[in-house]
């Protein structure tokens, strides 16, 4: 029985990239031998075991054969006779098909180290095209390692395009697509994920609402980058740069979906794009089974982001109603996330990436002010329904006072 560290831990160790999980492959063993040593079986489709102490995953060396559609359409074979090379060749990329033994010796039968040095994401074998999930994985790796200068090999893009055209991507479950996308969104260059998917034709299949933004023009005086798709990716990169949450990043990704629905005779203006965006944002969220909180913020940003940009010109009552819709009294964190997403939208424009966005701090100051006004602050003779009415009145007055203090006197909402 021989044990090797494989996959991401070896790749990232060689690259000098931080890693946390360790996966091992076991050659020359049976499930019974591992169980006898205290390993706990957890794999449903093939034998995977947890180490009795470290809880790291140990998988028996295996081969696989395509037997159906989609991510689960495979038959696996494990036996003591399956070699390390047999196991590594079924992996997706050469940089993921490197193994290391306990003594630190590297086993690299498919030249993964060369591709690491040349910063290339390349498939190990033509069996790559049998698994549609690999299209998303390659795009995610491209996002993760973009800062190192990695790119996808042309022949690998060709196989990804083949998968996209085959209809296999439709076999992916919503859960798998969302899981890979959520992980990609948390990378420092999440925009690369969507750009790679677009380059192989997968974006229009998995995210047609985002793909539709490309080629749609905007007014150059407001959007020097002009193209709605480019603006979306620039905005997303702002969210990554700031280290914002998954919810904020997703909201930024879908905030302008309504612009793809603007009638051609209205272009490059996008009147009512916020309202038009509600349906496609809802469609994306429902199709991918996006978590409820993530969906709620995305819808709020889609519908209300222009009001955030216009915050200084809104009447105090309008600002209060905006904050009410964002559930300011019960969920201040949603207001913070909303403001962050709107800031990314404002800065996701060519030449305006470092532009100040004072609206953000203004709305956060307003939020603190209205949340500080309590029923206990009202006169004791105010009773029943009058309490709620007076609280609203006091909060609107406080917003107006704060706005005046800051020097924003316009009421052209």
Domains of the chain: 1-118 (3.30.460.10)
**DSSP letters of 75-88?**
EEEE-TT--HHHHH
Give the CA distances from residue 239 to residues 37, 257, 258, 287, in Å, rounded to whole numbers and listed in that order. Answer: 47, 17, 20, 24
Q: So what's the pLDDT on residue 411?
A: 39
φ/ψ (deg, to 5) at 74: -135, 150
Token pair 């420092």 in the structure block, residue: 188
CB 116, CB 15: distance < 8 Å: yes
List, for residues 69-105, the tens digit of each pLDDT value. 545 555 777 888 899 999 999 899 999 999 999 999 9
DSSP tally for the chain: helices H, then strands E: 18, 11
**Contact between residue 257 and residue 277 where contact means Cβ atoms under 8 Å apart:** yes
CA–CA dist 382, 371 (Å, integer): 19
pLDDT of residue 381: 62
Give me the residues of the chain with pLDDT under 70, please.
44-46, 65-74, 375-385, 408-413
User: Annotated binding residues for CTP, as ranges?
Assistant: 8, 11, 91, 137, 140
Q: State in Å, rounded, how far the first CA of the chain is from the last one.
A: 74
pLDDT (0 to 100) of residue 373: 85
The predicted structure's pLDDT at residue 412:
34
Provide the β-strand partners of residue 93: 123
Q: How far apart are CA 158 and CA 273, in angstroms?
A: 35
Cross-strand pairs, 107: 99
367-379: per-residue pLDDT in tens? 999 999 876 666 6
Identify the residue whose tokens are 């905006």. Answer: 322
* Rounded Cα distance, 186 and 203, in Å: 18
Pairing of strands 23-27, 57-60: parallel
Binding-site residues for Mg(2+) sit at: 21, 23
Give this prediction's pTM: 0.90
Q: Which residues contact 334 (CB under 8 A, 6 or more apart)?
A: 296, 297, 300, 326, 327
The encoded tokens of residue 109 equal 């039968």
Give Cβ neighbours of residue 74 (< 8 Å, ≥ 6 apart): 45, 64, 65, 66, 67, 68, 130, 131
Residues sharing a CB contact under 8 Å with residue 231, sequence separation 6 or more, in sequence order: 218, 223, 225, 256, 348, 349
Q: Name the token pair of 219.
A: 């007014």
What is the reported pLDDT for 413? 30
Residues of each annotated binding site: 8, 11, 21, 23, 91, 137, 140
Binding residues for ATP, as ranges, are 8, 11, 91, 137, 140
- C-alpha–C-alpha distance, residues 30 and 79, integer Å: 7
Task: Return the DSSP state at 169.
Answer: G
Our CA dihedral for 55, 61, 66, 69, rounded to 10 degrees, sits at 0
Q: What DSSP assignment string belongs to 286-303?
A: HHHT--HHHHHHHHHHHH
Name, in order, each residue with C-beta under 8 angstroms of 413's C-beta and a sequence gap of 6 or more: 310, 313, 314, 315, 318
Rounded to 10 deg, the angle between the 174-185 and 273-288 helix axes is 120
Counting beta carbons within 10 angstroms of the beta carbon of residue 188, is it exposed (0 to 12), middle (13 to 18) or buried (19 or more)?
middle
């Amino acid at each position: 029985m021989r044990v090797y560290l494989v996959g991401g831990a070896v790749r990232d160790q060689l690259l000098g990239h931080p890693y946390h999980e360790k996966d091992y492959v076991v050659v020359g063993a049976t499930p019974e031998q591992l169980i006898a040593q205290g390993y706990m079986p957890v794999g449903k489709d093939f034998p995977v075991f947890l180490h009795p102490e470290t809880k790291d995953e140990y998988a028996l060396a295996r081969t696989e054969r395509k037997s159906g559609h989609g991510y689960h359409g495979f038959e696996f074979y494990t036996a003591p006779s399956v070699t390390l090379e047999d196991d590594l060749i079924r992996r997706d990329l050469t940089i993921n098909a490197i193994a290391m033994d306990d003594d630190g010796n590297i086993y690299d039968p498919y030249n993964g180290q060369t591709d690491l040095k040349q910063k290339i994401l390349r498939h190990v074998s033509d069996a790559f095209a049998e698994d549609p999930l690999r299209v998303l994985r390659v795009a995610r790796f491209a996002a993760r390692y973009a800062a190192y200068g990695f790119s996808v090999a042309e022949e690998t893009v060709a196989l990804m395009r083949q998968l996209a055209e085959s209809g296999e991507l439709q076999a992916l479950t919503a859960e798998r697509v969302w899981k890979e996308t959520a992980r990609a969104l948390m990378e420092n260059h999440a925009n690369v994920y969507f750009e790679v998917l677009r380059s192989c034709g997968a974006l229009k299949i998995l995210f047609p609402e985002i793909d539709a933004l490309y080629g749609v023009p905007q007014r150059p005086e407001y959007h020097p980058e002009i193209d709605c798709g480019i603006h979306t990716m620039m905005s997303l990169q702002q969210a990554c740069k700031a280290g914002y949450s998954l919810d904020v990043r997703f909201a930024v990704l879908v905030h302008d979906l309504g612009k793809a629905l603007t009638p051609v005779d209205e272009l490059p203006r996008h009147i009512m794009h916020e309202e038009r965006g509600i349906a496609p944002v809802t469609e994306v969220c429902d199709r991918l089974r996006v978590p409820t909180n993530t969906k709620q913020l995305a819808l709020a940003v889609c519908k209300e982001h222009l009001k955030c940009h216009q915050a200084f010109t809104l009447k105090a009552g309008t600002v209060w109603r905006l904050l009410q819709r964002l559930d300011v009294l019960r969920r201040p964190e949603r207001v913070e996330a909303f403001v962050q997403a709107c800031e990314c939208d404002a800065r996701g424009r060519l030449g305006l990436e470092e532009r100040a966005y004072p609206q953000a701090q203004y709305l956060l100051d307003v939020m603190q002010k209205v949340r500080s006004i309590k029923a206990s602050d009202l006169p004791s003779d105010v009773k029943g329904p009058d309490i709620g009415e007076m609280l609203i009145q006091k909060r609107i007055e406080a917003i107006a006072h704060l706005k005046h203090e800051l020097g924003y006197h316009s009421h052209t909402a």
